[in-house]
Amino acid sequence: MDLSVRIGTLTLQNPLIAASGCFGYGVEYADLVDLASLGGVAVKGLFLEEREGHPAPRIVETPAGMLNAIGLQGIGVRRFIAEKLPELRARQATVIVNICGTTLDEYVELARILSDADGVAALELNISCPNIKEGGITFGCSLNGTFDVVSAVRKVTRLPVVPKLTPNVTDVSSFARAAEEAGADAVSLVNTFLAMAIDVETRRPKLSNIVGGLSGPAIRPIAVRMVYECRQAITIPIIGMGGIADARDAIEFMIAGASAVQVGTASFVDPFIWPKLLDGIRSYMERHHVARVADLVGTVDTGPAAPERSGA
């Protein structure tokens, strides 16, 4: 049974990736999760310099999900390389670094720095965070901006380049096409949906940033639809995410068109979810006589349903 998948020039041993922003820098989970057993670890987003993020409160539970407005707090790329990357290498993790910028030049400089760092497998371009007012999302909500940032990073690195697309646009597939035309090796989608929660007793927003990003099972059907639409529009691989809580959810994304998946919010609920997901995928493949997990990708049958047979 072959669980490996290809993302550009990168081969993952299985399709499960820990999602950026929900798994720290990977090392925080290293005593609970065998990082080498995952397809990849997408680390918390990095700017060139350290960043404080938003003040508390910045996480709120919602029905079937959660809101966050962390504000991309982080230690900066140089501290990551010095303090976190050595342990990730020692744990044999496949490291996908999520990079953030307020300018095009910042994305380019981050790509240059990380391309020279031992142990980085791919770059995920965060052009979709809804929780900050400058940078990333500005690029991600503009077709020209998406093309420009992907193109600029592509020119300075040999690492696989994977822009993370925002769902907060009218037609996400057009942004996937812009990324492919600019030289992306794959796209990942979706990031969180812009949302809000209010305390009705105080009539104040529950988040200090007023709005935040909605994740969790509530967004999964929308994310699946967007993955399906992008699969019709592009030929490069898709990494799908959004509310995956069990193996059936992961398989649904793959059938819709994702070559691999990222799991985020569910890892807060159950840090030990990873072997359960792998076992569930293997069980599905056995039941349906699927030898290669890659053979599931994009196999959704949208033709007319077979007529039901009447009883004798």
Instruction: Report the catalytic residues.
Output: 129
Q: What's the token pair of residue 310? A: 């009447």
Alpha carbon distance 155, 189 (integer Å): 23
* Tokens, residue 50: 């350290």
Phi/psi of residue 239, nearest 5 degrees: -105, 115
Of 1, 4, 74, 26, the C-alpha closest to 267 is 26
SS3 83: helix
Residue holding tokens 């009447």? 310
Compute the distance between CA of residue 238 and CA of residue 159 in angstroms, rounded to an integer.
16
For strands 16-18 and 40-46, give the pairing: parallel
Tokens read off for 229: 């639409």
| Alpha-carbon span 146 to 169, nearest angstrom | 12
The DSSP element (H or E) to which 261 belongs, if any, is strand 260-263
Can you tell me the distance from the alpha carbon of 243 to that of 254, in angstroms, rounded to the nearest whole number? 14
Cα angle 195, 18, 295 (rounded to 5 degrees) comes to: 105
Nearest Cα residue to 239 out of 5, 82, 50: 5
Cβ(35)–Cβ(41) below 8 Å = yes
Q: What are phi and psi of 225, to 5 degrees?
A: -60, -40
